[in-house]
Structure 1
Amino acid sequence: MKPILLLGSSGQLGWELQRSLAPLGDVIALHRNDALAERGCGNLTDLDGLRETVRRLRPAAVVNAAAYTAVDKAEQETALAHTVNGAAPGVLAQAAAEAGALMVHFSTDYVFDGSGEAPWTEAAMPAPLSVYGQSKLEGEQRVRAVAGGRHLIFRTSWIYAARGGNFAKTMLRLAQEQDRLTVINDQIGAPTGADLIADVTAHAIRQAFAHPGAGGTYHLAAQGETSWFAYARFVFDTARELRPDLALKVRDVTPIPTTGYPTPARRPLNSRLDTTHLRQTFGLELPQWQQGVRRMLAESLTTTAQP
């Protein structure tokens, strides 16, 4: 069987995809430091190298988990963000189409302006507020333009993983250092584990191989919704339950509006994603966000408790 080419293998999502894609065939996992002369090019700023890698390997699927994710920094590094998030996915999709491969790409809730309170459907009109959101939307558009029906685009939000840093780990660190914290309370979304995204992706790829008509754009996020403030409170409560010995200094957690914490890039207030299309197409039930966060915390706190 032809291999599966995975870009961004060293990131949180890429790491989980190496596991979830393995049952589908040989996974050629590349990261940005891989050079063409070795296994292949994984650097999304090297467009010629990406194109040549796909042409040489002729994979069954190209899975692009690499991205420029420095949301605030992108306001200054506009060209780099658009190259990595916009141009590179288009090049990969074009090369995938020429090789007869399925193109799989990941996008974000940041393609929407975050207005209203209703969950965003795939048919909603994108209107990104930031350079990061604009660059991710460009990537989507380029993939659709050249990949035809042989593509899967998953928009997701508030990604975390047990491996590497994440919001929950940051909150726990600050809670051990400070007795008072302020956390944004008017941005609403669903924390979504990289392991969940990876597992759903592998399932969808398997379905797309068997039924090419399953291609398209899908919203992928855990069920339920929360604010960053309520998310933080859940993290503290769960940590105290799982590790009563954990020295949390924080005693006061204060909710603040987004305007109380200005950043270079504007964030969407409403990051709710309607996952109906995904669930119905692939016959899936998605877990409540608390389940994944609790499991991640249990793993992280157990690891830190070991001598």
Structure 2
Amino acid sequence: MKVLVTGKNGQLGNELAKLCPTNVELELFSSKELDITNMAALNEVLITHSPDVVINAAAYTAVDKAETETEQAYAVNEQGAANLATVCKTIGAKLIHVSTDFVFDGTKTTPYEANDITNPLSVYGASKLAGEQAINNVLGSQAIIVRTAWVYSVFGNNFVKSMLNLMQQKEHLGIVADQIGTPTWAAGLAKMIWALATQQNQKSGINSTLNSNKTTILNWTDAGVASWFDFAVAIQELAIEKGLLSKAITIRPIPATSYPTPAKRPAFSVLNKAQAEQLSGVQTIHWRSQLSDMLDELALKI
């Protein structure tokens, strides 16, 4: 099976490369090597490599900057996704596209299902939703969309690494406690996506088993529920245990209103992963256990 991955330098792109199955012929492209907003370049690369499956891990993810860089956000997240879908249709490739919990407004109090009504609060969320819709319109059942949230890894910049840095520098931190979701280790997300990719390459395919002409949308995060405050507390506890931090600092819960950001975030974005678990055969693991494994990996790199 031949798989082409976009966004190789991101957190997920790095994990997909690291966890690639031995029977997969993998081609990886960074945004500089392959600009998904450039249709001519996309055509040339995909036709040349002729992959069976394309995994789109490329995205404009600067949530707050997107409020002013609207054109750039839509260029990558909507037009780039549409371009990929169009070329995948031309060459007969399956597409697995990564999206976000930011397509929801966070007003629910029970985990979001894939078919729940979307209502993004930010430009980032709206641009990602527009990309989902473009893929569905172009590719239908030839694509799968995976919505995820709160992604972190040993690669790149993320909440876990930011917290470790701040905890070394500060005497106390105030962390938002009224935004609820679930952290996602990019390695766990990559494992699930590889399971999907393998199934997508089989003749039946996931979407055909669901008897639908629409694009299947799946949710994936780690298991469990947390606030950013809970997440930060766990990071400190585990980091001290593993020798990544030498002492504890005071972490206090604050409301989101005390930490205003240009983009509004959903207050509640816990996702129901049952369908993804069923279709991929991969079970979610509790976020604290995943965080522990990621910090073990980080400790080896330092």
- Residue 219 of structure 2 corresponds to 219
Aligned: 1:12 with 2:11: yes
TM-fit CA distance, 1:211: 5.0
Answer whether contact 1:110 1:267 (CA < 8 A) is retained.
yes
Answer whether contact 1:155 1:219 (CA < 8 A) is retained.
yes
Residues 178-197 of structure 1: matches in 2 within 5 Å? 178-197=170-189
Letter in 1 for 2:181: G
| Distance verdict in 2 for CA 1:135–1:212, change over 3 Å | farther
SS at match of 1:264: coil
Q: Following the alignment from structure 1 to structure 2, what is the Cα–Cα distance between the partners of residues 21 and 94?
A: 25
- Residue 27 of structure 2 corresponds to 28
- Residue 279 of structure 2 corresponds to 281
- Residue 63 of structure 1 corresponds to 55
TM-fit CA distance, 1:160: 0.4
Q: Following the alignment from structure 1 to structure 2, what is the Cα–Cα distance between the partners of residues 97 and 192?
A: 30
SS at match of 2:22: helix
Aligned: 1:205 with 2:204: no
TM-fit CA distance, 1:167: 1.1
TM-fit CA distance, 1:53: 2.0
Residues 131-146 of structure 1: matches in 2 within 5 Å? 131-146=123-138
2:88 aligned residue (65, 78, 96): 96
- Residue 37 of structure 1 corresponds to none
- Residue 301 of structure 1 corresponds to 299
Measured on the aligned residues, the alpha-carbon RMSD in Å equals 1.5
**Structure 1 stretches lacking a partner, 5+ long:** 35-41
| Distance verdict in 2 for CA 1:225–1:249, change over 3 Å | closer
SS at match of 1:97: helix
Letter in 1 for 2:221: A
Runs of 4+, deviation exceeding 4 Å? none
1:122 aligned residue (94, 114, 118): 114
Q: Following the alignment from structure 2 to structure 1, what is the Cα–Cα distance between the partners of residues 18 and 298?
A: 19
Letter in 2 for 1:202: W
Q: Following the alignment from structure 1 to structure 2, what is the Cα–Cα distance between the partners of residues 7 and 116?
A: 33
TM-fit CA distance, 1:254: 1.2
SS at match of 2:285: coil
Q: Following the alignment from structure 1 to structure 2, what is the Cα–Cα distance between the partners of residues 79 and 212?
A: 38
Answer whether contact 1:24 1:206 (CA < 8 A) is retained.
no
SS at match of 1:67: coil
Answer whether contact 2:52 2:93 (CA < 8 A) is retained.
yes
Provide, for residues 188-235 of structure 1, a one-character-per-residue CA deviation record: whole Å limited to 9, x for no partner.
111111111111001111112225441311001111010000111111
- Residue 246 of structure 1 corresponds to 245
Q: Following the alignment from structure 1 to structure 2, what is the Cα–Cα distance between the partners of residues 130 and 24?
A: 40
Answer whether contact 2:10 2:155 (CA < 8 A) is retained.
no
- Residue 268 of structure 1 corresponds to 266
Letter in 2 for 1:8: G
| Distance verdict in 2 for CA 1:220–1:211, change over 3 Å | farther
Provide, for residues 7-51 of structure 1, a one-character-per-residue CA deviation record: whole Å limited to 9, x for no partner.
1011110011123334342111111221xxxxxxx1123232113
Q: Following the alignment from structure 2 to structure 1, what is the Cα–Cα distance between the partners of residues 255 and 114?
A: 28
Q: Which has the larger displacement, 101-110 or 157-166? A: 157-166
Answer whether contact 1:177 1:249 (CA < 8 A) is retained.
no
TM-score w.r.t. structure 2 length? 0.93
SS at match of 1:168: helix
Answer whether contact 1:107 1:136 (CA < 8 A) is retained.
yes
Answer whether contact 2:179 2:256 (CA < 8 A) is retained.
yes
Letter in 2 for 1:226: A
Q: Following the alignment from structure 1 to structure 2, what is the Cα–Cα distance between the partners of residues 61 and 266?
A: 34
TM-fit CA distance, 1:263: 0.6
TM-score w.r.t. structure 1 length? 0.92
Letter in 1 for 2:233: R
Answer whether contact 2:39 2:83 (CA < 8 A) is retained.
yes
- Residue 43 of structure 1 corresponds to 35
TM-fit CA distance, 1:147: 0.9
